[in-house]
Amino acid sequence: MTEPTHMAPKLRVLLTAEQIQTRIRELAAQIDADYPEGTLLLVCILKGACFFLSDLARALKRDVRLDFMGISSYGMGKSTSGEVKVTKDLDATVEGSDVLIVEDIVDSGVTLNYLMHLLKQRRPRSVHIAALLDKPQRRRRPVHVSYVGFQIPDQFVVGYGLDDAERYRNLPDICVVEEE
């Protein structure tokens, strides 16, 4: 019998599903307290942030709208190519809205640096970033992340939306891929 993916031997759990959910509830409480009355537009960056968006949105007590943006700079590789590509634009206008970009991870900062410039040109009332994971050691471009779930060391992680060549996104935990 083939071993299920979740039991793959080269994965080590870094953050459990429970730790992730606890931290998301804390972030949601902080976001609810920080924003004035009104609707918050959550912009999910596909594909990796889909689970974070889903859990964060449900933990927030305020009114939210959801929109999705496809933006890719990695292809099938493990590190950024440095070239950012918008693969799917937002459906709605962001002009005059409070926008919160929801990302799974900030690594080099190339993606979010680009995205912040792009969205600011569209005249939102405000635009901030919530990122579940941050690898500050890897930064090549400056990015201000208002809400960080966890700072993690410079290790390749998968699960809870994060992939290795499209694999492992559905793991409930965040795991380090150990070198064989």
Q: Point out the residues that are catalytic.
A: 107
- Segment holding 45, helix H or strand E: strand 40-46
Residue 68 or 74: which CB sits closer to ligand PRP? 74
Identify which of residues 109 and 159 has a Cβ nearer to ligand PRP in the complex. Answer: 109
Q: Closest CB to ligand PRP among 47 and 122?
A: 47
8 Å CB contact between 73 and 13: no
User: Is 108 near ligand PRP (CB under 6 A)?
Assistant: yes
- 110 touches ligand PRP (CB under 6 A): yes
Instruction: Spell 64-94 as b/e; 16+ CB within 10 A means b.
Output: beebbbebbbbeeeeebeeebeeeeebeeeb
**For residue 176, what are its two tokens?**
């380090």
Nearest residue to the partner ligand PRP, using Cβ: 48
Kindly identify the residues of this chain, within the stretch 42-61, that bind ligand PRP according to CB under 6 A: 45-48
Contact status: 134 vs ligand PRP (CB under 6 A): no
Q: How far is the CB of 150 from ligand PRP (least distance, A)?
A: 15
Q: What is the dihedral of CA 130, 68, 51, 148, to 10 degrees?
A: -10
* C-alpha span between 176 and 67 (Å, rounded): 29
Question: Which residue is associated with the tokens 């590190």?
Answer: 79
Q: Which of 40, 52, 72, 177 binds ligand PRP (CB under 6 A)?
A: 72
- Segment near ligand PRP (CB under 6 A); pick from 11-19, 89-97, 104-112, 172-180: 104-112
Q: Which residues bind ligand PRP (CB under 6 A)?
A: 45-48, 72-74, 80, 103-111, 163
